[in-house]
Chains A and B, each alone.
Chain A
Amino acid sequence: RAQGGPIRIGVIHPVTGALAFSGAQGRVGAEMAIADVNAAGGIKAMGGAKLEAVLGDARSTPEGGVAEVERMASGNVAAFVGGFASGICLATTQAAARYDIPYLVDVGVADNIVTRGLKNTFRFGPGFGVISRVAIENLVAMNDAAGKPARTVMIVHEDSLFGSGLAGLLNRELPGKGFEVLETIAHPTPTRDFSNVALRIRSRNPDLVIPASYYNEYVLLARTMQQQRVRPKAIFSVLGGAASNYRFVREFPDAARFIMDCNHWVDGRNPSAQALRRKVDAANQFFTYELFLNYANIMLLADALERAGSADKAKLTEALASSTFSGHFMPYGPTKFENGQNSGAVPVVTQVLDNDIKVIFPASVAEAPAVFPVPA
C-alpha cells in the first residue's frame, strides 16, 4: 500500500433482505465512527492516515457475507467490522480467517462465534451466555430489591436462536430462583397476529411477562396486550427489540411505558455517548444498539491501529488481542480479549421512563431508579 493512503475497512452488514433494518443501522454506526475518527485527525501513529469504509451487503445470508469477505480481501482491507446475525458472523469470520484478516463481530451473540479458535475473530459486545445469565441475575436482584412482587412468569419468545435459547435458559434457571414459569409460548418471525398470545396471558394472569422477540413482533405483542387490557406487574425483556428502541417509544408511548429490557446499551452518563446520541438524533436516525455497537467497534479498531502503528494484518491482530481500550462509551470498562471475547462486556437493564430509555440497573451505571412493580 502506498504510504499515507487511506486504511480500508470492510464494513459488512445485511442491508437487504430480512435483516435489512438492523444491518442498515449497523452501517450507519460504522460510517459515523469512521467519519469521526477521520475528523479527529485519522490514525496519528500512521501519519494521520484516514480510514475508508468499504461497504458490503451480506444480503441477510451467510453466503452473501462470504462473497463480500472474498471481494474485500482481494481489495486489501485491513480489518472487517460487522455481520450482525450470528449465522452471517460464523461464516464471515471463518472466511476472513483464511486471510488472517482481523474481524470485529458487532452483534452476533452466538457463543460459538468466538469459541472456534479463530485467531482473527474478536467480539467487543457480550455473547449470548453472558447476556442471559446477567439478565436472570438482574431480574432476581431487582425483584428482591422491590420486595419480591413478582412470582409467576410467562415467557413469549421468537423461535430462532436467540429467543428459544433464552427461553430454555429461563425455564431452567427461574424455578430455582423463586419464580414459577406458568407457560412458555414460542412464535415464528414474522407472526401475523398476537391476539391468542394476549388471550393466554390474560387467562393465566402472570406477574411478569418476559418477551424475547424481534422488533416487529415485539411491537405487535405490546400493542395487542394493551388492547386486550393485559397488565402484568412488569414486562421484562431480554435483547427485546422494542424496549430499547426509540421508534417504539415515540410511536406507542402508552404501550411502551415502563417496559424493561436487558440489552446492549451505552453508559448513558458518558459524554461521548450523549454526544453520539445527539448526533444520531440530528441525522434523523434512531439510536439503536446496532448503531452504537458498530460505532464502538470502529473506535476499538482505531485504537488498535494507533497502537500497532501499522495496518499489517498480523500486527493489527496482535494489537487487538492485547487491547485495553477504555475510550468507549459502553459500560464495560477497558477491553480485555480472552480467546477473542471481550471479557468485561455485559448488558444492562433499561426501562422506558418519561418517553425516554434510561438505564436502571445495575446501580453503578443507573441513570434513574427502576419503576417496579408498574403502577396499576
Chain B
Amino acid sequence: MLLSSDILIQAVANGLLTGAIYALIALGLTLIYGVLHIINFAHGALLTAALFAAFFADRVLGIDPWISVFALAPAFFALGYLLQRLVVWPASRGEDRAILLVTLGLAVIIENGLLFQFRSDTRTIDHPFGFDVVELGTMLLATTRVVAFFAAIGVAAALFVFLAMTDTGRAIRAVAKERLGAELSGVDVPHIYAVTFGLGTACLAVAACLLLPSYYVTPQVGNAFVLVAFTIVVLGGMGSVPGALAGGLFIGVVESISGLLYGETLGQLGIFLIFILVLLFRPQGLFGAKA
C-alpha cells in the first residue's frame, strides 16, 4: 500500500495527541501501582465517574470541562483520598491481594451505580471547539486534542517534579518500597497512601475533562482506556512517571501507525506485541529500575 509521507506524519501527530491522554491515565495507575503495589482495578470505573462528573458540570451547570477541571481535579483528589482512607485501607488492612479484590469490588459498584443512576445511554457534550481544527501544513489536528496534549504533558511534568523534589513526593516513593522504614522516619503511612490514591484519581479527572470534548460517556467507557494504560505502565516501568509519559506517547504512535497500516483491529495487536517484546527484552520497562 502506498502512503504518502503527509499521511504518515499526520498519523504520528494523531498518535502523539492520543498518547498524551493515555499517558495521563497511565500516570494515575503507575502512581497507585508504585506505592500500593497493586493494580487498581477501579481505575477505569473512576475514569468513567470523572467523565460523568465533567459531563454533568457541562450539561447541568453549563461549565466547560476546561474550566471545571480546576474544580474536578481537587474534588477527585478528595474522592480518591477518602476512598483509600475509608474503604480500601480499612477493608484490606493493607494486604495486597485484599486491595486487589476491594478495588475490583469498587469498580463493580461504581460502574453499576452509574448504570443504575444514569442508565446506559451514550452521552456527549457540544463543545465550542468540538469541531475546530488546528491546521498545520496539510495536517488537520483537532483543537480539543491539541489542548489536551499540552495539558497532559504539563500535568506529567508537574507530577514528576513533585515526586522528585518535594518531601511528600519522596515520602511517596519511600513508602512504596519500605513501609516500616518510612514510618520510623516519621511518615504517616495511611496518609501517604491516601494522598497517592488521591493523586492518581485526580489525574483521571484531568484526563476526563480533556477527553470529554472529543469523546463520549457511558457507564463502561473507562475500561477501554485502562487496558491500554496497564500496558503503558509496564512499558514505561512500573511506578515511573517519565516512563508513563514516554510509554503513553509511544503506544499512541504505535497504535496510530499500525492502525493506519493494518487496520484498527490488527493495530491493537501491534500494541500488545510491542508490549510483549519489550517485556521479553527489557522486563523492567523503558524507564524502570532493574529489580
- Which residues of A are interface residues toward B (Cβ below 8 A)? 15-18, 20-21, 24, 159, 184-188, 190-193, 195-197, 199-200, 203, 215-216, 219-220, 223-224, 226-229, 247, 251-252, 254, 286
Q: Is the CB of B10 within 8 A of A199?
A: yes
Task: Report chain A residues within 8 Å CB of B228.
Answer: 192
B56 within 8 A of A: no
Provide the bound-state CA to CA distance between A15 and B7, in Å: 41
B18 within 8 A of A: yes
Q: Is the CB of A21 within 8 A of B7?
A: no
CB within 8 Å for A227 and B218 given contacts A16-B115, A192-B224, A216-B122: no
CB within 8 Å for A187 and B11 given contacts A193-B18, A220-B215, A227-B133: no
| Interface size class of chain B, counting residues whose CB lies under 8 Å from the partner chain | 35 or more
Q: Is the CB of B4 within 8 A of A187?
A: no
Provide the bound-state CA to CA distance between A223 and B228, in Å: 23
Smallest distance from the beta carbon of A256 to chain B beta carbons, Å?
12
B253-282 interface bits toward A, Cβ cutoff 8 Å, 1 = contact, 0 = none: 000100110011110100000000000000
Provide the bound-state CA to CA distance between A220 and B228, in Å: 19
CB within 8 Å for A247 and B122 given contacts A192-B224, A199-B10: yes
Smallest distance from the beta carbon of A158 to chain B beta carbons, Å?
9
CB within 8 Å for A187 and B265 given contacts A200-B7, A229-B140: yes
Task: Report chain A residues within 8 Å CB of B214.
Answer: 223
Residue of B nearest to A193 (CB): B18
Q: Is the CB of A16 within 8 A of B121?
A: no
Q: Is the CB of B264 within 8 A of A21?
A: no
Q: A193-B18, A226-B131 are in contact. List 17 more A-B contacts (CB 8 A).
A: A20-B120, A21-B121, A159-B265, A186-B264, A186-B266, A187-B265, A192-B228, A195-B256, A196-B14, A199-B10, A200-B260, A203-B3, A203-B4, A216-B218, A229-B140, A251-B126, A286-B121
Q: Is the CB of B216 within 8 A of A227?
A: no
B220 within 8 A of A: yes
Smallest distance from the beta carbon of A285 to chain B beta carbons, Å?
10
17 of the cross-chain contacts (CB-CB < 8 Å) are A17-B220, A20-B119, A21-B120, A24-B119, A187-B263, A192-B228, A195-B256, A196-B264, A199-B11, A199-B260, A200-B260, A216-B216, A219-B122, A220-B215, A220-B216, A223-B131, A247-B122
Task: Report chain A residues within 8 Å CB of B130.
Answer: 223, 227
Provide the bound-state CA to CA distance between A197 and B10, in Å: 12
Task: Report chain B residues within 8 Å CB of A195.
Answer: 11, 14, 17-18, 142, 256
Task: Report chain B residues within 8 Å CB of A254.
Answer: 131
Smallest distance from the beta carbon of A198 to chain B beta carbons, Å?
9
Smallest distance from the beta carbon of A280 to chain B beta carbons, Å?
14
B93-124 interface bits toward A, Cβ cutoff 8 Å, 1 = contact, 0 = none: 00000000000000000001001000111101
B1-44 interface bits toward A, Cβ cutoff 8 Å, 1 = contact, 0 = none: 00110010011001001100000000000000000000000000
Task: Report chain A residues within 8 Å CB of B122.
Answer: 21, 215-216, 219, 247
Residue of A nearest to B259 (CB): A196
Task: Report chain A residues within 8 Å CB of B18.
Answer: 192-193, 195
Smallest distance from the beta carbon of A160 to chain B beta carbons, Å?
10
Q: Is the CB of A227 within 8 A of B142?
A: yes
Task: Report chain B residues within 8 Å CB of A21.
Answer: 119-122, 218
Q: Is the CB of A186 within 8 A of B263?
A: yes
Provide the bound-state CA to CA distance between A187 and B224, in Å: 13
Q: Is the CB of B265 within 8 A of A188?
A: yes
Task: Report chain A residues within 8 Å CB of B140.
Answer: 227-229
Task: Report chain B residues within 8 Å CB of A199.
Answer: 7, 10-11, 14, 260
Task: Report chain A residues within 8 Å CB of B10.
Answer: 199
CB within 8 Å for A185 and B131 given contacts A195-B14, A219-B124: no
Provide the bound-state CA to CA distance between A158 and B215, in Å: 18
Residue of B nearest to A183 (CB): B1
CB within 8 Å for A185 and B126 given contacts A195-B14, A220-B216: no
Provide the bound-state CA to CA distance between A227 and B131, in Å: 5
Q: Is the CB of B219 within 8 A of A188?
A: no
B213-252 interface bits toward A, Cβ cutoff 8 Å, 1 = contact, 0 = none: 0111011110011001000000000000000000000000
